[in-house]
Structures are given as structure tokens and as C-alpha cells.
């Protein structure tokens, strides 16, 4: 039985160029034991610390996955864009992914004839992952890696691999035993460890690992290991798998252990549990304080196979190519007898059984279409989530394009983006969703939160009251974990209506007069899909809401094959199901933009092609029509949409493109199609925001992968108005830099104004 080891030394290991197995380097000697997690300034001596100390980049990425292929299936193309962009990129794989120990693409009798060798298969998967990462970084699958055993916690070791040609690029393997089944309850698994069905989870040493022995981790030690890694990498973006997976319609697997009971999910139990551990580690990391803000992205896993394909063919093919490298489809000789890749994936990544995973990339948080809003005096305020906390940037003067901040507005373990609405008197109200992690006498659950603006501080920053919990449409804690992300609208009387997807795939809502005195949770009438039964019950997260110029409330939501619409019959009434829209199937979230005369525009991506579509509904017709198919730009996720101007005669669209950058387009509201796409050179997280200043000029904003607000505005209002240069606000607690030779910026401290930088 493995035991917790005493303190031990680490040997430096180098890998022969292209070689698969690690070998001890002669004369490498003994490196100093790292000891417990410590601030980076106090920890030296390993590749992790050396690279963190040497990195002066504004961006750093940490990817937390359960199995070696997870990031290739579910996080690409974002993963490759980060790697190719030259930023620090670290991927930590929690399990060995040993499965049945048979490295073959065959199933049934042919597979059973192969000998079972889990340590070898775990090593083959490691070799495949680093080959795919080497291709992303250098183009060469045999580009060599340096390998060593590192202590993140006293008495424990993990394996770290550093790409020699690009040492800012690293892989970390904790080698915990995997569940070895997608959904069957197993006490000895990440899920069992999280739920307390087992006290410890052992590791499985892959063949050739420099890690010296088997270890046993408690739940707290897995969390502490990830926290230690966060402290060493200090990422600006953390990407995890899905902590809020959607349950499947079939019966849950049987188990005699009450701790392991629960719904059946579309996703793999290891995926879900890995995201829980990442959330717990982030909570610890943020509580300790670390000096630079963190954005979190959660990626949907196996559920993508039962949702519409949402990336274009070029993106899907590239994902498939990298998975074929991981799957050893080229038969390359990496010099390791354990194998050079995962034959269970093999060459089938694009055209075979896994095609739906390569043809989709979905974020659990669909993003908000409303997080840049005007204050009472016309200045703009932008809202985001950094370090799990709501923050605000506020213009220092009307229309000057300089934002102070970020100013902390509170909240903890918030997820996704803030949704903001304006009351008739000009006060703002914010909505967010948060996870409550389990603790003694506290259930693991999700809930909606809101806060109402109470005034404006002397420095011009809006002041908000305490965050008020609004609960969840589903009181049961387990069901509440599937609560969606909020969209809200305010009617003419100042009543706020907030809508979220519920556990059954319907839409729950609460209403509050003037943003207070909230009703109980109620549900909109559920949509009924005609034709072939839906693969996913009800709507998919990614809804939007708005009030039109006639005072009617609209709600739109995607399902796996249709766009659904609800609208109130009279001002002040709750929206009713309006029947089928007849629009092409959606690939993800939808965005509403009210125009004059009661008209409403809808923007979203079409399934399978990712092409942006624009639809319109005129009140006289009462039906939707497809107005425009925009020029393809690739990408995935929400398309932001808004009508701007005085009056609002310019329709603005903004979307992520296939290169991970912002694209935006403008057009006359009385014309069907917007103009050509423009490119903003800003890698960013979540959906873009669209607002307008007091002159009616369009203003665009994104939360950059550096954790800073990037914004741009028109020189002149109107669909033909050119845009000025992008500005970037100084990071909290760090000085600003212009990005131009010889430029300087003033320090922006936490809660204090920061000077903007200008970039071309």
C-alpha cells in the first residue's frame, strides 16, 4: 500500500531529441527540494519558477484537464492560439488516463486480445500530448522536451515537461488514477475523492516517469497542489473543463454508496470533478492574493456531441489534425517502446466517431450582450469578473475614452460575465451567477446574485449595494448546479425581469419592482420542437432579453435545432411563447438588439458553419425573417449586437473570429446587411460589449487575455464613422505601458484610476 513519502530529492532528466522515454542525465545531480507552496519570489530552482520569473509577458495561461486529450478536443482553437502567440502556457493533467491499458483503436474481441499495460498506455498518451503541443508551438512533433520531477507539495512529486525550443511552454502530469469509466460510480476516482467516498486517491506511475514512487492524495492535497501551481504560473487566464455539466435523460447509474449517487451526465465524471478541484484551488489562490488578475473560462466536454457543431470546417479540420498527431496516426518513431500516441484516437479525429468533439468548441458561460452601460451623466461603465469578483471601469470624463479601474464591487466565485441593465432613472443593476463550494453544513450549489446602484463616489465610480442572492429556479443543490447565466430587461415601470435556463431546459424568471421585492421563481412556457425529437431537452444556455421601443419584453433562446422567442403582449406583462421563428438552426448564444418602431434584430451563428446571421422582427408582421448572412470569419460563441446613435440608426455587431481576435461591423439599421468586418487585434475572453457615448458614437470593449479592459470608439457617429485607436487600461496593481516604443504610463493601483495605453 503506498504511503505518504518523506522528503526526497529530485533528479534532472533530459529527453533525447524525439525520444519518448525519459532518461536520467549523467551528472545532473540533486536539486534542492522545493518545499511547500510559496510566493514566486521565495521559490527557485525548478523550470516552473525559472520560467515564471523570466516571463515579462502580459499574458499567461494555465489549462487544467483530466485526461491527456481533453484540451485538444475541447479547448482548441483557443489553446493553440495561446501557444502560438508566445505567451506562457502551462497545461496540468490530473489523471494518468490509463483507461483499460490497451493502446488500440479496435473494440471488442480484438482489443481484449492485447495485453493490459496501464503504465505503458499512460506514457503513450503523454507522448501523444506533447507531440501535439510541439506541433502547435514549433511545427515539429519530435521537438525535444526536458523532463523532471517537481515537488508542488512537501513529500509529493509531479512530472513536468518543458519544450526545449519554447521553454515558456510546459506540461505537468499529476498521474492520479482515473475513473476508468465515463459514468459508472467509482469510489477510487476524482469524483469519489471530491464527494468523500474515498479518503485518498493513489497515483499510477506511467512507464519511464521520473516520479520516484506512487503517492496518495487527499482531497485537500489535490486542491493544494493546484493552488501551488497557480502561485507559480500566475496566470492571467485559467481554462478548465465544465463544472456545470448538463444531466442526461437516462437513469443514473446504480450505486450502493449514497455519497456517489446523483444524476447521469453527458460529460465524463473525471472532467466534471477536475473542474471542481480547479474551482476550489482558484478560491484558495484568490483568497491569498497574488498581484495580477485572473480570467476563468470553462469548456464544455462530451455534451458537445449532442449539441450542434459550432465551428467552421477549417477550424474543425485543424483540431482533427492535432488530434491525429496525438493519436499517432502518422506512425512516427519517437523512440519509446510504450508508444508514441493514443491509438484509441488514432486517425479518426476528424472523420470518425469523435467528429462532433472536433467540430465544436463551447464555453459553459455563453457571455453577456450587456456589460458596457451609460451612467446617469453619460459616462460609460464596463463590468467584468476578475478573480471571481465583480469589477468596474468608469470613464473619467464624458466621452474621453479614459477609464479608471478596475474597481472592486465584491462577490466571490462569480462565473462568466456580468449582465447589466439600466433603470428608467439611470441607475444600473448588475446580475451574476456564482458557485458556492461545499463545506461543513453548506451544500455545493449555484445561485443568481444581483446588486443595485446606490450612488456615485467622488471619483466618479458607481457605488453599489450588497450583493443579494436570488437563489435558483431549482431549490435542490445538485439541480441548481445546472442553473444558467442571467439575461435581464427593464420595463417602462422600472420592473426588472431576469431570466435563466433551469435544470429541465426551460427558462426560469423572477421579477422585481425597481430591482427590489423579488417575486418567487416562475417559468416561461416551454418551447415544443417539431419534427425529429431533440437530442437535448429544452433550450441551450445562451439566451438574451430586451425591452423594445414599444415597451414589450422579448426573450430569445437557442435549442439544439431552433431559435425560440417569447414576447409580452402588452407593456408590463410577462413574455409569452410566440411560436416558431423558422430561422436556421443556431450554433450557440443569441443576442437581441431593439430598433425603433418596435422592431428587434437578432444576431447569432449558424450551426455547422459558424456564419453570423442577422434576423429581424417587425411588430406589424409579427414574424421573423432572415435579413443577412454575413461574410464568414470563423470563431465561436456569442455575437454581440446593439443599435447605436441618436436616434439609434446604426446596427453594430462584434464577434470572435477564427484567429481568436475581435471582428466588428456596422450598418444602417434600415438595411439588412451590415458593412464589411473590421479587425481589432485584441485576443480576449468572453463576448465583446457594445455601447455608445453621449454623441451617439459606437464604443466597443473586450476583456483582454491580459485581464485588462480594451476599448475603441468611433471618431464620428454613423454607420460610416471610422474608429480611433484602441486603448488599454492599466492593470490593477501594475504600471501601464503604451505598447508603442518609448511610451510610458502611470501606475494603476487596486481601486485607483489607471492611465490608458493606446495601441494601433
Q: What is the pLDDT of residues 502-560, one digit of tens each?
A: 999 999 999 999 999 999 999 999 987 655 555 666 899 999 999 999 999 999 999 99
Beta bridge partners, 10, equal 31
Q: Is the pLDDT of residue 424 over 50?
A: yes
Q: Are 500 and 486 in contact (CB under 8 A)?
A: yes
- Reported residue count of the chain is 760
Hey, which residues does 147 pair with through a beta bridge?
Answer: 13, 161
Q: pLDDT tens for residues 644-700? A: 999 999 999 999 999 999 999 999 998 999 999 999 989 999 999 999 999 999 999
- Look over the chain and give the mean of its residue pLDDT values, rounded to a whole number: 88
CB 464 within 8 A of CB 430: yes
Half-sphere exposure of 276 (CA within 13 A, CB side): 23
pLDDT of residue 356: 79
Helices and strands, counts by H and E, the chain = 11, 44
- Model pLDDT, residue 16: 28
pLDDT of 95 > 60? The answer is yes
Summarize pLDDT for 685-741 with one digit per residue, the tens: 999 999 999 999 999 999 999 999 999 999 999 999 999 999 998 765 433 332 222
Q: How many CB atoms lie within 10 A of CB 407?
A: 21
DSSP 187: S
DSSP H or E stretch at residue 229:
helix 219-233
* Short-list 96, 123, 122, 65, CA closest to 201: 96
The topology under which CATH files domain 372-759 is Neuraminidase (2.120.10)
Is the confidence at residue 755, as pLDDT, over 80? no
pTM above 0.85? Answer: yes
**What does the pLDDT look like over 286-338, one tens digit per residue?**
999 876 899 999 999 999 999 999 999 999 999 999 999 999 999 999 999 99
Q: Which letter, b or e, does each residue of 301-313 get, where b requires 16 or more Cβ atoms within 10 Å of its Cβ?
A: bbbbbebbbbbbe
Read off the pLDDT of residues 7-27 as tens digits, 9 standing for 90 and up.
Answer: 333 222 223 233 333 333 222
Contacts of 338 (CB under 8 A, 6+ apart): 20, 21, 119, 120, 121, 123, 124, 127, 206, 207, 208
Q: How is the chain split into domains, by residue range?
A: 10-358, 372-759
Nearest to 380 by CA among 273, 461, 264: 461
Q: Is the pLDDT of residue 253 over 70?
A: yes
pLDDT in the model for residue 24: 30
The pLDDT of residue 54 is: 39
Nearest of 668, 673, 678 to residue 700 by alpha carbon:
678
For the stretch 186-219, pLDDT in tens is: 999 999 999 999 999 999 999 999 999 999 999 9
State how far the Cα of 751 lies from the Cα of 730, in Å rounded to an integer. 12
What does the pLDDT average to over 366-393?
97
Residue 573's pLDDT is what?
Answer: 96
Q: In angstroms, rounded to a whole number, what is the distance separating the alpha carbons of residues 618 and 598?
A: 7
Cα–Cα dist 533/518, whole Å: 36
Q: What pLDDT was estimated at residue 37?
A: 34
Quote the pLDDT of residue 535.
64
User: Average pLDDT, stretch 596-612?
Assistant: 96
Helix (H, G, I), strand (E, B) or coil at 497: strand
First to last CA, the chain: 61
CATH assignment of 10-358, given 1.10.155, 3.30.300, 3.40.50, 3.10.450? 3.40.50
The arithmetic mean of pLDDT across residues 360-366, rounded, is 97
Using alpha carbons only, how large is the chain's radius of gyration in Å? 25
Please state whether 224 falls in left (phi above 0), alpha (psi between -120 and 50) or beta.
alpha
Torsion of CA 227, 231, 232, 235, to 10 degrees: 100
Is residue 543 helix, strand or coil?
Answer: coil
Q: Specify the pLDDT at position 255.
A: 87
Q: In DSSP terms, which residues pair with 446 in a beta bridge?
A: 435
pLDDT value for 681: 85
* 681 neighbors 661 (Cβ within 8 angstroms): yes
- For residue 494, is it left (φ>0), alpha (ψ between -120 and 50) or beta? left
d(CA 79, CA 63): 8
Residue carrying C-alpha cell 436556421:
584
Provide the percentage of residues in the chain whose pLDDT is more than 70: 85
Indicate the SS3 state at residue 270: helix
Q: What is the pLDDT of residue 152?
A: 97
Tell me the pLDDT band of 348, cut-offs 50, 70 and 90: low
CB 215 within 8 Å of CB 2? yes
CB 608 within 8 A of CB 587: yes
pLDDT value of residue 731: 65
The residues that bridge with 384 in the sheet, in sequence order, are 391
Amino acid at each position: 500500500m503506498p504511503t505518504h513519502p518523506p522528503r526526497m530529492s529530485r533528479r534532472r532528466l533530459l529527453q533525447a531529441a524525439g525520444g519518448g522515454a525519459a532518461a536520467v542525465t549523467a551528472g545532473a545531480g540533486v536539486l534542492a527540494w522545493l518545499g511547500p507552496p510559496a510566493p514566486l519570489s521565495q521559490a527557485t530552482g525548478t523550470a516552473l519558477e525559472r520560467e515564471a520569473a523570466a516571463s515579462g509577458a502580459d499574458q499567461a495561461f494555465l489549462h487544467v484537464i483530466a485526461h491527456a486529450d481533453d484540451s485538444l478536443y475541447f479547448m482548441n482553437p483557443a489553446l493553440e492560439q495561446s501557444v502560438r502567440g508566445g505567451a506562457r502556457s502551462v497545461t496540468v493533467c490530473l489523471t494518468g488516463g490509463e483507461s483499460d491499458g490497451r493502446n488500440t483503436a479496435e473494440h471488442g474481441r480484438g482489443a481484449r486480445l492485447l495485453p493490459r499495460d496501464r503504465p505503458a498506455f499512460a506514457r503513450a498518451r503523454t507522448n501523444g500530448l506533447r507531440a501535439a503541443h510541439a506541433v502547435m508551438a514549433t511545427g515539429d512533433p519530435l521537438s525535444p522536451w526536458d523532463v523532471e520531477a517537481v515537488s508542488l507539495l512537501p513529500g509529493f512529486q509531479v512530472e513536468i515537461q518543458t519544450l526545449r525550443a519554447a521553454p515558456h511552454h510546459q506540461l505537468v502530469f499529476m498521474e492520479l488514477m482515473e475513473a476508468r469509466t465515463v459514468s459508472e460510480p467509482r469510489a477510487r476516482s476524482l469524483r469519489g475523492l471530491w464527494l468523500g467516498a474515498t479518503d485518498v486517491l493513489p497515483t499510477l506511475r506511467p512507464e519511464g516517469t521520473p516520479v520516484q514512487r506512487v503517492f496518495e492524495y487527499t482531497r485537500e492535497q489535490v486542491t493544494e497542489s493546484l493552488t501551488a501551481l497557480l502561485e507559480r504560473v500566475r496566470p492571467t487566464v485559467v481554462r478548465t473543463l465544465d463544472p456545470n455539466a448538463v444531466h442526461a435523460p437516462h437513469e443514473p447509474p446504480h450505486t450502493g454508496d449514497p455519497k456517489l449517487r446523483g444524476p447521469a451526465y453527458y460529460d465524463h465524471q473525471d472532467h466534471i470533478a477536475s473542474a471542481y478541484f480547479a474551482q476550489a484551488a482558484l478560491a484558495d489562490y484568490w483568497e491569498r492574493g497574488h498581484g495580477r488578475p485572473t480570467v476563468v473560462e470553462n469548456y464544455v466536454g462530451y455534451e458537445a456531441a449532442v449539441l450542434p457543431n459550432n465551428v467552421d470546417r477549417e477550424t474543425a479540420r485543424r483540431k482533427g489534425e492535432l488530434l491525429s498527431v496525438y493519436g499517432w496516426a502518422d506512425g512516427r518513431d519517437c523512440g519509446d517502446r510504450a508508444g508514441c500516441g493514443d491509438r484509441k484516437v488514432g486517425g479518426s479525429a476528424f472523420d470518425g466517431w469523435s467528429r462532433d468533439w472536433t467540430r465544436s468548441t463551447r464555453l459553459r458561460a455563453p457571455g453577456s450582450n450587456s456589460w458596457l452601460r451609460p451612467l446617469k451623466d453619460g459616462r460609460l461603465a464596463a463590468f467584468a469578473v476578475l478573480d471571481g469578483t465583480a469589477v468596474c471601469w468608469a470613464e473619467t470624463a464624458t466621452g474621453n475614452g479614459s477609464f479608471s479601474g478596475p474597481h472592486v464591487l465584491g462577490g466571490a466565485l462569480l462565473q462568466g460575465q456580468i449582465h447589466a441593465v439600466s433603470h428608467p432613472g439611470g441607475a444600473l443593476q448588475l446580475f451574476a451567477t456564482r458557485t458556492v463550494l461545499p463545506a461543513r453544513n453548506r451544500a455545493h450549489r449555484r445561485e443568481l446574485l444581483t446588486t443595485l446602484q446606490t450612488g456615485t463616489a467622488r471619483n466618479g465610480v458607481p457605488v453599489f449595494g450588497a450583493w443579494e442572492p436570488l437563489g435558483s429556479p431549482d431549490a435542490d443543490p445538485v439541480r441548481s448546479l445546472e442553473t444558467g447565466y442571467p439575461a435581464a430587461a427593464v420595463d417602462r415601470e422600472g420592473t426588472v425581469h431576469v431570466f435563466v435556463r433551469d435544470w429541465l431546459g426551460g427558462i426560469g424568471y423572477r421579477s422585481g419592482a425597481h430591482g427590489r421585492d423579488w417575486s418567487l421563481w416562475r417559468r416561461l412556457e416551454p418551447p415544443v420542437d417539431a419534427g425529429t425529437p431533440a437530442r437535448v431537452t429544452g433550450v441551450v444556455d445562451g439566451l438574451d432579453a430586451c425591452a423594445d421601443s414599444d415597451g414589450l419584453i422579448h426573450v430569445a433562446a437557442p435549442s439544439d435545432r431552433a431559435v425560440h422567442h417569447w414576447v409580452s403582449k402588452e407593456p408590463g406583462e410577462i413574455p409569452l411563447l410566440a411560436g416558431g421563428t423558422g430561422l436556421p438552426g443556431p450554433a450557440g448564444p443569441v443576442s437581441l438588439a431593439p430598433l425603433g418602431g418596435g422592431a428587434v434584430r437578432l444576431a447569432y451563428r449558424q450551426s455547422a458553419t459558424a456564419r453570423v446571421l442577422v434576423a429581424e422582427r417587425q411588430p406589424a408582421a409579427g414574424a421573423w425573417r432572415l435579413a443577412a448572412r454575413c461574410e464568414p470569419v470563423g470563431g465561436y460563441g456569442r455575437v454581440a449586437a446593439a443599435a447605436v446613435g441618436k436616434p439609434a440608426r446604426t446596427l453594430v455587431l462584434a464577434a470572435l473570429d477564427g484567429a481568436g481576435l475581435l471582428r466588428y461591423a456596422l450598418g444602417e439599421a434600415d438595411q439588412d446587411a451590415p458593412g464589411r468586418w473590421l479587425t481589432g487585434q485584441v485576443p480576449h475572453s468572453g463576448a465583446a460589449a457594445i455601447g455608445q457615448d453621449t454623441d451617439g458614437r459606437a464604443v466597443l470593449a473586450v476583456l483582454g487575455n491580459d485581464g485588462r479592459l480594451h476599448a475603441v470608439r468611433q471618431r464620428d457617429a454613423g454607420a460610416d464613422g471610422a474608429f480611433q485607436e484602441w486603448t488599454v487600461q492599466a492593470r490593477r496593481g501594475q504600471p501601464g505601458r503604451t505598447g508603442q516604443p518609448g511610451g510610458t504610463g502611470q501606475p494603476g493601483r487596486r481601486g485607483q484610476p489607471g492611465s490608458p495605453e493606446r495601441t494601433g
